[in-house]
Amino acid sequence: MELQWPLIIFTTLVSWCAGTFATQAYLALKGTGQKAQIRCWIVSAVLLVVGGIAVFFHLQHWERIFNGFGHITSGITQELIAIIVLAIVAVIYLAMLRKNEGNVPKWVAILAIVTSAVLVMVMGHSYMMEARPAWCNVLWIVSLLGVACILGPATVAVVCETVGEDASELGMPAFVGSIINAVASLAAALMINTTHVSEVGNYYDLTHPMKDITASGLNIFGGESLIPTLLMIVLGCAAPIACAYMGKKTGNWKVYGSAAVVCAVIGAVCLRAVFYLAGASVFGIY
């Protein structure tokens, strides 16, 4: 399958947005990071808007996306609902910030964390389909949550240092988040190698007459998947752990936090690339 860049950008940025919003809510629960709250909110809002715009470029006729909104079981409808709910919570969160001078009630902070996690899970679930055996696994949802766990704390830590706020509270969340991201990403990628097609149906796609109908071998360390897989392991898994550890140890989040964000984003994009490449070998079956 061709790389669907609009969807790669969408899933990466929305995970980043959710992680950032949830992390600033975490600081609100701790009663810290007041000076960084507004800027973190702006960052998460920009990420959500850009990601939302990117998804429209997935369609040649983007206006037809509205046809799918009439079906509640449609993945795109569920994503829209989750995004709207998060947007409403974000507006409430901002109103509370402005009213209470950088503080929000704990129930609002908890609601922000929950809605952020739900959005990522709904987004990941929309890609689980039996027609793509390599995609139909809960580990893909976990991988999206994993990248949010590192991008959120690292981004908020950078913002905190930028405004002169103490970021020490984010050291452990960033380090633990980087480990969660590494484990989740590797599990999702390695899961592809265990994927197999137990049944080959009678349907044959006449628009792809040269496609081998029985080709079901998936290998993340072969063909076009090799380079993005290696980049995902080195930059997406190992590098963020090292950066988070150094950031926690030295407190220099401007350098190590920024490096962790860049590496995690590259790793997330590479994992999404493997995700789409994995759909190619079974494309002719369905």
More confident residue, 66 or 80: 80
- For 216, list phi and psi in degrees, rounded to 5: -135, 10
Cα–Cα distance for residue pair 39/253, rounded to 1 Å: 16
For 208-229, write each residue's pLDDT tens digit: 666 555 445 567 777 777 888 8
List the chain domain ranges.
Answer: 5-285
Instruction: Report, as an integer, the average pLDDT of 262-279.
Output: 88
pLDDT at 252: 92
The mean per-residue pLDDT over the stretch 82-88 comes to 92
Residue whose C-alpha is closest to residue 254's, from 174, 157, 163: 157
Please report the pLDDT score of residue 128 as a whole number.
Answer: 76
Q: Is-above-0.95 flag for pTM?
A: no
User: Whole-angstrom Cα distance, residue 119 to residue 100?
Assistant: 27
If we measure between CA atoms, which residue out of 122, 148, 129, 118 comes closest to residue 264? Answer: 148
CB contact at 8 A, 83 and 126:
no
Q: How far apart are CA 29 and CA 105, in angstroms?
A: 8
Q: What is the mean pLDDT of residues 4-28?
A: 92
For the chain, give the percent of residues with pLDDT over 90: 51
For the domain made up of 5-285, give the CATH fold: Formate dehydrogenase/DMSO reductase fold (1.20.1630)
pLDDT category at 62 given cuts 50, 70, 90 is low
Question: Worst-scoring range by mean pLDDT, 40-54, 112-126, 128-142?
Answer: 128-142
Tokens of 143: 């991988």
Task: Give the span between the Cα atoms of 281 and 1, in whole angstroms.
Answer: 8
- Beta-carbon count within 10 A of 169 CB: 18
Element (H, E) at 25: helix 5-30
Tell me the average pLDDT across 228-255: 93
Within a 10 A sphere around the Cβ of 136, how many other Cβ atoms? Answer: 13
CB 213 within 8 A of CB 285: yes
Q: For residue range 138-191, list pLDDT tens digits in order.
A: 888 999 999 999 999 999 999 999 998 888 889 999 999 999 999 999 998 888
Average pLDDT, rounded, for the chain: 84
Task: Match 């947007």 to its residue by tokens.
Answer: 87
Q: What is the pLDDT of residue 70?
A: 67
Nearest to 29 by CA among 116, 110, 102, 96: 110
